[in-house]
Chain A
Amino acid sequence: MTCNRLPLSLDDYLDGRDDNAAHAAIDAHLAGCASCRALVVDVGALRRAARALGPMEPPAHLWPALQAQIVKAQPLVKAQPPKGRMDLWAWQPLAAAAMLALVVSSLMWVGAQLGERRPALGVTRASSAGDAGDGFAEFRLAEAEYSDAIARLEDVTGAADPRAIDGLTSATLQSSLDDIDSVISEAREALAWQPGDELSQESLLDALGSKVAVLQDTVALLGDSNEAAAPEELNQ
């Protein structure tokens, strides 16, 4: 071992990862070289200090700027939703709040009733060509009732003040509805080919039921928000 070779073996020596022969060779060299002994002490101190440095807290302004970039890159709530989608951004004057409360309670009842009236699809198996059997008729009836409830709930939410729900909740609800609409669309496409396919019928009714539930939650949130805001605004 020489002074020139020691630095390249130092990390393994300090970590105890070198073999016995190499370790002994360095020990023997250090016994006779003050300069290398000083080097070993310094490198040990530097390594300890460097490992202790740890993370650094980024400035507070970085997260909001980053968040804005991310949200811009991935719009969660569309300002102009495509045709047929619920528009959470349309709004009406506060005078509609009272009507909203009335509609909320009646539609919650509608949603509960639909849950109890799902047809027993397993009773009558429709053919792949689609037929007008009892099971199929009941499926169509349930589908129509779900669709009607959804349309009414969308009217209610579309008429509400978008400020009533915070941005993150609104985005989450919209994201859920987008996913559900995708399932509804796929199920309807499948039923267009095979109207009697029970799995697709089940899938469609499940998705419609989920959409009713999400819309009911939205309406309930709007209702809660209006109740909280009402006393202040009435005093203005």
Chain B
Amino acid sequence: MRADDLDLARRCREGDTAAFETLYRTHAGRLFGLLTRMTASAQDAEDLLQDVFVQAHRKLAGFRGESSLGTWLYRLAVNQCLDHLRGKHTRMARATDSLDADDAAEPVAVTPLVPDAVARIDLERAIAQLPPGCRAAFVLHDVEGLEHREVAEALGISEGTSKSQVHKARMKLRVLLRGRAAPRALEAV
């Protein structure tokens, strides 16, 4: 598998457009999903996806096969996306502070609120309504499957904060998916 990645990278570097299209077709779906959910904007996700692959094309000379091509691209995409979000003046720390202030607004439910089978479209819409800080943590952890340690490293926060962010995202989604939005909890959206 790694030898295939190195060969594909070499062919891309040598100007083989068909090889680059293979790279794109193989990985674009996963990256586009990540970018769309992280930014909650289809247009931003499209622009970022192009930026990621253009950057990948430039940086392929540096790919040494220490990770798979997919992982290498994924890291590029995460970094590009976070730079974009920071560039829009959405600070993770600021988002954390505002979420901390919302703690008291979370409803306490004694029966499950989330349907056993959550419709994909409902969840996608609900994720898009999350504040950027906890949305990023939730997407990376619950959707993409990264460990809290990896989420923390990517977002520049502590592992404890990552767990806290993911928990807050889940609490908000819990309410959104039942259609009973608590007004104070949604002010930060």
Closest chain B residue, CB of each to CB of A10? B167
- Contacts A34-B110, A57-B32 hold; do A63 and B24 have CB atoms under 8 A apart? yes
- Contacts A38-B111, A42-B113 hold; do A55 and B170 have CB atoms under 8 A apart? no
A73 touching B57 by the CB < 8 A rule?
A: yes
A53 touching B16 by the CB < 8 A rule?
A: no
B143 touching A58 by the CB < 8 A rule?
A: no
| A45 contact set on B, CB distance < 8 A | 112, 114-118
B54 within 8 Å of A (CB atoms): yes
Total interface residues in chain B, CB < 8 Å? 51
B110 touching A58 by the CB < 8 A rule?
A: no
B71 within 8 Å of A (CB atoms): no
A42 touching B170 by the CB < 8 A rule?
A: yes
- In the complex, which range does the number of interface residues on chain A fall in? 35 or more
Chain B residues with CB under 8 Å of chain A are 14-18, 20-21, 24-25, 28-30, 32-33, 36-37, 46, 49-50, 53-54, 57-58, 108-118, 120, 123-124, 138, 142-143, 145, 148, 160, 163-164, 166-167, 170, 173-174, 177
Contact among A39, A50, A74, A175 with B143 in the assembled complex (CB-CB below 8 Å): A50
| A65 contact set on B, CB distance < 8 A | 50
A74 touching B29 by the CB < 8 A rule?
A: no
A47 touching B54 by the CB < 8 A rule?
A: no
Chain A residues with CB under 8 Å of chain B are 7-8, 10-11, 34-35, 38-39, 41-43, 45-59, 62-63, 65-67, 69-71, 73-74, 76, 168, 171-172, 175
B17 touching A67 by the CB < 8 A rule?
A: yes
B110 touching A76 by the CB < 8 A rule?
A: no
| A35 contact set on B, CB distance < 8 A | 108-110
B64 to chain A, nearest CB (A): 21
| B33 contact set on A, CB distance < 8 A | 53-56
| A171 contact set on B, CB distance < 8 A | 15, 17
A51 to B139, CA, bound (A): 10
A52 touching B109 by the CB < 8 A rule?
A: no
A62 touching B49 by the CB < 8 A rule?
A: yes
- Contacts A35-B108, A59-B46, A66-B54 hold; do A172 and B16 have CB atoms under 8 A apart? yes
A4 to chain B, nearest CB (A): 10
